Amino acid sequence: MTESILLVEDDPSVRTTISTFLEMEGFEVEAVSSTRDAIRRLSETPYSLVISDIYIDDRTGIDVLMAARQQYANCSVILMTGRGTMETVMAATRNGAFDYLAKPFELDTLLEAVRRAIAAREPADDETEAEELPESEMIGSSAGMVEIYKTVSRVAPTDATVIIEGETGTGKELIARMIHRFSQRASQPFVPVDCSAIPAALLESELFGAMKGAFTGADRDRVGVFESANRGTVFLDEIGEIDAAFQVRLLRFLQERAIRPVGASREKQVDVRVVAATNRDLQKMVEEGKFREDLWFRLNVVRLTLPPLRERRVDVPLLTHYFLNKYNNRYNRDVKLTESGLATLRDFTWPGNVRQLQHLIERLTILAPNDRIDAEAVHDAVSAMEPGAPGGETLADTETEQIRRVLAATGGNKSRAAQILGIERKTLYRKLERMKL
């Protein structure tokens, strides 16, 4: 029997390409360009599979998905989009979408997804109610990020331990927060712990707690993070930095889910989910004998590796517009981005990834000459942010002016100002001293 497919896509050239391709592969394809037509067709004819774009008109592919699942429990749906977000992937997964493709994709990728979807057709779950698609704070619709969203949407509702790897500034903490937010623990605490910022000697009492008198200075009982986060999620950031002794403690905790505060005689059971992150290569640390293999196995139930920004440059414009909008609002500015400015941003290597882009845009929103971010402004800002650059080798009066503007924008907050200027706080103080003279 020929399998019939309903294709919903508002872009005429994409529509033609996909339907021609699938017809050549032996499928019967009905192509429509609006959600209204799609929903009408679905009420008239049964289809084996629906392939739909997400952002179409006043309604979305999620509406098409729900209509399809309501009419025929065993109709598979593949959604595709160039603007996938964590929220759309979650909504699609919850409503029983079979697959989710980030545009652009190879036609062979589509064909594989189509074959899998048709092979796997099965009765659907109960109906779900309509969901709004809120704006995401996680920006990025590249294929690499959509793969991350897919894994997050599958793993978030479980209690599985997750290890998040990725270079600095790639969004590891943001992803950890998403995992918590889309879990059943969402209304319970999310407690981040920066393992590299706590001295090794204190990490144990910080996480497990300590009884009064357990050590000098412990003048009352201290509740540890694992206890205070009970029923929630603990985010162990920079997990690659913990020492050998603490690795043993953590391993035991992950096995037993019990804590014994320092100086206590009894253990108590706690219910926390652990999400950990590192910008180190833990697998390699295991090979080098610097990280316990058994602990690595316990953490590595689900592993997410965030791609660096230079490997998903299509996300640069999305992120840039998002941050520009955010900082224009915050600083009450109306800075515009030019074509050349955007091209320069897209081509940059971004060693500091999204965080670096974010800081750069914040800085440019305040400082861009003529309220325009063009190639030159980007070049200047990038070189000023280079570590070790003495505050951007600008002429003294331009520099003074820059410092004034940034301080005014931050309401005199010197730490924030130093961050935006890309210099150390000490350096800013020195410059301020000099300016007064």
Q: State how far the Cα of 386 lies from the Cα of 368, in Å rounded to an integer.
A: 18
Q: Are the CB atoms for 200 and 243 separated by under 8 Å?
A: yes
Q: What dihedral do alpha carbons 32, 37, 40, 46 form, nearest 10°?
A: 10
- Angle, helices 86-94 vs 61-71, to 10°: value is 10
Q: State how far the Cα of 95 lies from the Cα of 80, in Å rounded to an integer.
A: 15
Contacting range for ligand ATP; rule: CB under 6 A; set: 97-105, 169-177, 179-187, 406-414:
169-177
* Shortest CB 309 distance to ligand ATP, Å: 9
Q: Which of 171, 209, 224, 392 binds ligand ATP (CB under 6 A)?
A: 171
Q: Which of 107, 118, 143, 174 binds ligand ATP (CB under 6 A)?
A: 174
Per rule CB under 6 A, is residue 224 in the interface with ligand ATP?
no
CB atoms within 10 A of CB 60: 21
Q: Determine the size of the site formed for ligand ATP (CB under 6 A).
A: 16
Q: Long-range pairs for 221-226 at CB < 8 Å and ≥24 separation?
A: 221/261, 222/261, 224/259, 224/261, 225/191, 225/193, 226/253, 226/259, 226/270, 226/272
Q: Which of 170, 233, 365, 402 binds ligand ATP (CB under 6 A)?
A: 170
Report the residue number, 203 or 259, with the smaller CB distance to Mg ion: 203
Q: Which of 358, 402, 410, 419 binds ligand ATP (CB under 6 A)?
A: 358
Q: Which of 42, 65, 354, 406 binds ligand ATP (CB under 6 A)?
A: 354
How far does CA 28 lie from the centroid of its chain?
38
Contacting range for ligand ATP; rule: CB under 6 A; set: 6-14, 134-142, 334-342, 374-382:
134-142
Contacting range for ligand ATP; rule: CB under 6 A; set: 103-111, 152-160, 170-178, 257-265:
170-178
Residue 326 interacting entry, from Mg ion, ligand ATP, none, C-beta within 5 to 8 Å by type: none
Residue 295 interacting entry, from ligand ATP, Mg ion, none, C-beta within 5 to 8 Å by type: none
**3-class DSSP state of 89:** helix
* Shortest CB 136 distance to ligand ATP, Å: 8
Strand bridging mode 268-269 / 258-259: antiparallel
**3-class DSSP state of 362:** helix
* Shortest CB 139 distance to Mg ion, Å: 17
* Shortest CB 291 distance to ligand ATP, Å: 17
Place of tokens 């791609």: 307
* Shortest CB 170 distance to ligand ATP, Å: 4
Q: Which of 199, 220, 195, 197 is nearest to 210 (CA)?
A: 220
Per rule CB under 6 A, is residue 240 in the interface with ligand ATP?
no
Q: Which of 432, 416, 415, 424 is nearest to 327 (CA)?
A: 416
Per rule CB under 5 A, is residue 173 in the interface with Mg ion?
yes
CB atoms within 10 A of CB 93: 20
Q: Are the CB atoms for 75 and 47 separated by under 8 Å?
A: yes
Report the residue number, 167 or 374, with the smaller CB distance to Mg ion: 167
Q: State how far the Cα of 202 lies from the Cα of 214, in Å rounded to an integer.
A: 12
* Shortest CB 409 distance to ligand ATP, Å: 18
Q: State how far the Cα of 31 lies from the Cα of 16, in Å rounded to an integer.
A: 8
Contacting range for ligand ATP; rule: CB under 6 A; set: 44-52, 103-111, 138-146, 411-419:
138-146
Find the angle CA(178)-CA(183)-CA(185) to the nearest 5 degrees.
Answer: 110
**3-class DSSP state of 260:** coil
Per rule CB under 6 A, is residue 86 in the interface with ligand ATP?
no
Report the residue number, 173 or 227, with the smaller CB distance to Mg ion: 173
Residue 166 interacting entry, from ligand ATP, Mg ion, none, C-beta within 5 to 8 Å by type: ligand ATP
Q: Determine the size of the site formed for Mg ion (CB under 5 A).
A: 1
Per rule CB under 6 A, is residue 172 in the interface with ligand ATP?
yes
Q: Which of 362, 358, 333, 360 is nearest to 138 (CA)?
A: 358
Q: Are the CB atoms for 3 and 28 separated by under 8 Å?
A: yes
Q: Are the CB atoms for 136 and 86 separated by under 8 Å?
A: yes
Residue 174 interacting entry, from Mg ion, ligand ATP, none, C-beta within 5 to 8 Å by type: ligand ATP
Residue 177 interacting entry, from ligand ATP, Mg ion, none, C-beta within 5 to 8 Å by type: none
Name residues contacting ligand ATP, limited to 319-338 (CB under 6 A): 319
Name residues contacting ligand ATP, limited to 410-429 (CB under 6 A): none
Strand partners, 127: none
Per rule CB under 5 A, is residue 241 in the interface with Mg ion?
no
Helices (H), 229-281: 244-256
Per rule CB under 6 A, is residue 173 in the interface with ligand ATP?
yes
> Which residues would be at the binding site for Mg ion (CB under 5 A)?
173
> Which residues would be at the binding site for ligand ATP (CB under 6 A)?
138-140, 166, 168-174, 279, 319, 354-355, 358
